[in-house]
Structure 1
Amino acid sequence: MGIREEAEFILNGRFGDFVGALNHGPRIEIHGKTGRYVGNNMTSGEIVVHGNADDGVGFGTYNGTIVVHGDAGDGIGQLNKGGVIIIEGDIGDLAGLYMLSGDLIITGDAGKDLGDWIIGGNIYVAGDFETGTNAKVVEPEKEDVDKLSALFNQYSVDASPEEFKKIQRKEIRPFYG
């Protein structure tokens, strides 16, 4: 869409790839399934999907919030540069690949290589997962639990913040020996 004005869109039905791409301010609420790359390179605003989403949700997101009340495919939050991405369900493989900043929150299970080559930001997951290269699992701190609680209340996410694990980078420069 690439809309730069404040606006709200409520959409019903099935939507293809790149819905909400380049979003810069509007709130987009979708009632139905979406294709790949919801919110691709979004810079601000909100996208809320009431249904499942395909691969690449939040790819390259700079800012703003994306919430999927359902499952999502592979590559969620890759190259996230500062956005908040919440998946209220399960996701596939390679989520958070090369993540630089922001938050990726998964209330269900995640596939293989979660946080592969993560450089910054936080990944929170409540279900089963396998971490990728340069990703380490730590216990969330009180600030993390408070942040999750506030987001869950704001977006009506049915999850308990105390049940999450936190994934962060091991090293700031993992590519150099």
Structure 2
Amino acid sequence: MTEVSNEELSTRQVNTGIKNEIANEKHFLEIEVPKKLDSIAVGLKDGVSVTLKGNVGDFVGALTDGAKIEIYGNAGRYVGDNMTGGEIIVNGSAEDGVGFGTYAGTIVVHGNAGNGIAQLNKGGIIVIDGNIGDLAGLYMLSGDIIVTGNAGIDTGDWMIGGTIYVGGSYKTGTNAEIREIDDEDRQKLKEIFSTYKIDADINNFTKLEPKKLRPFYG
């Protein structure tokens, strides 16, 4: 492990430090984050593992392309924004917009999250082990959203593809249809819960899928 930050460093200095360490073939980094910095650990590629200790700001792990990022603290808005691969784990809560525009990869939040989870999701797996706010999965095209607790209103609003699994209560949005989970769903959830050490009763879940593939055109 290599430490690359302290409380005097800016976002740019932290990210430059990460890139320098990677250039020196140090791919397992441990970073103390004594203050909330936005846009740290962004654009990291496959083969890099970064541990962030402390609360982080907005856009942590944005544009990640294969790296693994684990956060021991809370995160701000837009965790993993537009990531194209890899894994982000938040051992705490997160604010709005987790997994916005995600193309691929997995984001797990071991706590609550805010509004707008996985909007415009294009293929990522977004797991919230807690409660979330409104408008999760708005305009999502593919991928999975898994919420072990409650969701807010307009869940799955105008979703075009993908699946939303919720273990608690929620109110559906336009074009989202409630369906019972089947054996394939149960196996998927079982594997994800085992991998990320999530204690949730699969039998409590229902799923949302699109009513129509072309909701805007009738």
Q: Partner letter of residue 162 of structure 1? A: N
Higher relative contact order (CA 8 A, sep 6+): 1
- Is 2:157 the counterpart of 1:116? yes
TM-score by length of 2: 0.80
Q: Distance in 1 between matches of 2:143 and 2:153?
A: 20
Q: Give the Cα–Cα distance (whole angstroms) in 2 for the partners of residues 4 and 125 of structure 1.
A: 31
Q: Are positions 1:134 and 2:172 aligned together?
A: no
8 Å CA contact 2:46–2:86 kept in 1: the answer is no
2:142 is aligned to 101
Higher relative helix content: 2
Structure 1 residue 5 displacement after superposition = 3.6
Q: How does 1:34-73 map to 2 (within 5 A)?
A: 34-73=75-114
Shift of the alpha carbon at 1:83? 0.3
Q: Find the aligned partners of 2:46 and 2:144 in 1 and give their Cα distance.
A: 25
Amino acid in the other structure paired with 2:104: N
Alpha-carbon distance between aligned partners in 2 of 1:163 and 1:142, rounded to the nearest angstrom: 14
Where does structure 1 differ by over 6 angstroms across 4 or more consecutive aligned residues?
A: none
**SS of the residue aligned with 2:131?**
coil
**Structure 1 alignment gaps of length 5 or more:** none
Partner of 1:6: 47
Say yes or no: does 1:158 pair with 2:193. Answer: no
Structure with higher Rg: it is 2
SS in 2 for 1:35: coil
| Number of aligned residue pairs | 177
The aligned amino acid for 1:113 is D
- Report the 3-state secondary structure (helix = DSSP H, G, I; strand = E; otherwise coil) of the residue aligned with 2:186: helix
Could you tell me which runs of 5 or more consecutive residues in structure 2 were left unpaired when the two chains were aligned: 1-41
Shift of 1:4: 1.9
Q: Which amino acid aligns with 2:197?
A: S
1:175 aligns with 2:213: no
The CA distance in 1 between the partners of 2:185 and 2:196, in whole Å, is: 16
Identity over aligned pairs, percent: 61
1:28 is aligned to 69
Q: Deviations over 1:70-111 (max 9, x none)?
A: 000000010000000000000000000001000000000000
| Superposition CA RMSD, Å | 0.6
Following superposition, the deviation at residue 31 of structure 1 comes to: 0.5
**Paired letter, 1:20:** G
Most deviating of 1-10 and 107-116: 1-10
TM-score (norm 1): 0.99
